[in-house]
């Protein structure tokens, strides 16, 4: 079966290419991946990067309008797409892009005119039901009207597509983690290697966060919670972002400079060492009018290291945490502090939660699991296409 995967995420060797490589290796999958020659990632232009694998099945396309002011990346599209469709003639076009992007509407429009038998899969992470400004709401309705299958990153995301008029089949396909990179390691050794051992001793309970330092992640609530915790509780932030200065001021005002550290973000290869330094990972995100936590990839990265997670009830967090941690109300430092103190007081329960997370990652959230789920959906779409042709 011929699959055309259109995805700016596959420009990255850690974010999208692992899934593409596993699909490419399947004997019944003839995969082509269309990626942009440049992309703006958190404010910085990012070139294409490949690591340790053949690239003949990737097409690095010249992208038009990769960033347009307030529209951001959602007007990007590929002038070469008609040529690719004409030459490759895919059975399935998998749009690993939001349905309201011009790239999705353009691909659907071309499919209808050039390859009407090809199946369209639309993928989405959006989990807030709101009306987008023109032309994006129109793009979304057009894409969903003509899509043959929809994939949501969470149950809420899938429900939004139905609220926007989609009536076809769909399925939740989660994000994934490299379960060969993120593995359990000795906590004391990791603290020594990370330079944390003198600050955070063997009896201390380290709460950690890794990611962008932005207000909507509830990081101010996390600092306020630590101020209410036992003295052996320490807090580590790994990352950078616009909320850093406000965090530093809050830490100073609460007299918590000995208990809280902020260190710069690290390459993905070094993140498991820091994750394994933690007794618990925290993601107390706050919902805003335009955003709520869509998945929380760092949750499954922590779980792959057998580290339990305390998360808020924002968006998809409760579903991803499951029984491998605790869920507290968002914007509630007191509840967050109580959850941290409970796990500190019962470290065996924390260890058991971490083990449950580790086991679930290997059942549901590894790249291998997600790639096989996608391949099964592709096969279903191809069978339906053949049945339609035969009739």
- Domains (range + CATH), the chain: 2-176+366-390 (3.40.50.2000), 187-365 (3.40.50.2000)
pLDDT at residue 4 tops 70: yes
Written in H, E and C, the secondary structure of 357-388 is HHHHHHHHHEHHHHHHHHHHHHHHHHHHHHHH
Dist. CA 244–CA 254, nearest whole Å: 15
Instruction: Please tell me whether residue 75 adopts helix, strand or coil conformation.
Output: coil
pLDDT in tens, 72-104: 999 999 999 999 999 999 999 999 999 999 999
Dist. CA 22–CA 247, nearest whole Å: 40
pLDDT at residue 391 tops 80: no
pLDDT in tens, 48-69: 999 888 899 999 999 999 999 9
Dist. CA 111–CA 105, nearest whole Å: 10
Dist. CA 175–CA 172, nearest whole Å: 10
Dist. CA 143–CA 93, nearest whole Å: 12
Using an 8 Å Cβ cutoff, are 29 and 118 in contact?
Answer: no
Helix (H) or strand (E) holding 204: none
pLDDT in tens, 256-311: 999 999 999 999 999 999 999 999 999 999 999 999 999 999 999 999 999 999 99
pLDDT at residue 138 tops 90: yes
Question: Any idea what the Cα angle at residue 184 is, between residues 179 and 190, rounded to 5°?
Answer: 125
pLDDT in tens, 332-363: 999 999 999 999 999 999 999 999 999 999 99
Kindly report the pTM of this predicted structure.
0.95
pLDDT at 389: 74
How crowded is the C-beta side of 207, counted as CA atoms within 13 Å?
31
The band of 388, judged by pLDDT with boundaries at 50, 70 and 90, is: confident
């Amino acid at each position: 079966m011929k699959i055309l995967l259109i995805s700016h995420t596959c420009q990255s060797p850690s974010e999208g290419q692992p899934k593409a490589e596993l699909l490419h290796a399947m004997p019944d999958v003839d995969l082509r991946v269309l990626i942009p020659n440049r992309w703006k990632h958190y404010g910085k232009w990012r070139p294409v990067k490949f690591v340790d694998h053949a690239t003949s099945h990737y097409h690095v396309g010249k992208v038009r309008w990769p960033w347009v002011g307030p529209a951001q990346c959602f007007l990007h599209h590929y002038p070469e797409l008609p040529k690719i469709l004409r030459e490759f003639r895919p059975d399935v076009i998998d749009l690993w892009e939001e349905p309201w992007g011009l790239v999705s509407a353009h691909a659907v429009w071309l499919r209808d005119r050039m390859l009407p038998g090809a199946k369209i899969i639309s993928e989405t992470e959006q989990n807030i039901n709101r009306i987008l400004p023109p032309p994006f709401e129109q793009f979304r309705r057009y894409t969903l009207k003509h899509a043959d299958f929809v994939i949501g990153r969470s149950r809420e995301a899938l429900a939004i597509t139905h609220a926007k008029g989609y009536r076809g089949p769909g399925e939740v396909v989660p994000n994934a983690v490299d379960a060969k990179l993120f593995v359990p390691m000795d906590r004391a050794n990791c603290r020594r290697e990370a330079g944390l051992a003198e600050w955070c001793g063997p009896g201390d309970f380290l709460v950690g966060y890794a990611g962008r330092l932005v207000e909507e992640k509830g990081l101010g609530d996390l600092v306020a919670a630590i101020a209410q915790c036992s003295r052996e509780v320490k807090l580590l932030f790994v990352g950078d972002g616009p909320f850093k200065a406000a965090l530093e001021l809050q830490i100073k005002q609460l007299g918590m400079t000995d208990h809280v550290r902020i260190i710069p973000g690290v390459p993905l290869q070094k993140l498991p060492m820091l994750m394994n330094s933690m007794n618990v990972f925290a993601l107390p995100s706050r919902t805003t009018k335009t955003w709520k936590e869509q998945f929380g990839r760092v949750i499954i990265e922590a779980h792959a290291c057998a580290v339990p997670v305390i998360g808020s009830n924002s968006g998809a967090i409760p579903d991803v945490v499951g029984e491998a941690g605790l869920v507290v109300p968002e914007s509630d430092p007191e509840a967050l502090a109580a959850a941290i103190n409970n796990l500190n007081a019962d470290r065996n329960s924390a260890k058991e939660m971490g083990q449950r997370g580790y086991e679930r990652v290997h059942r549901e959230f590894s790249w291998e699991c997600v790639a096989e789920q996608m391949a099964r959906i592709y096969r279903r779409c191809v069978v339906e296409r053949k049945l339609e042709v035969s009739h």
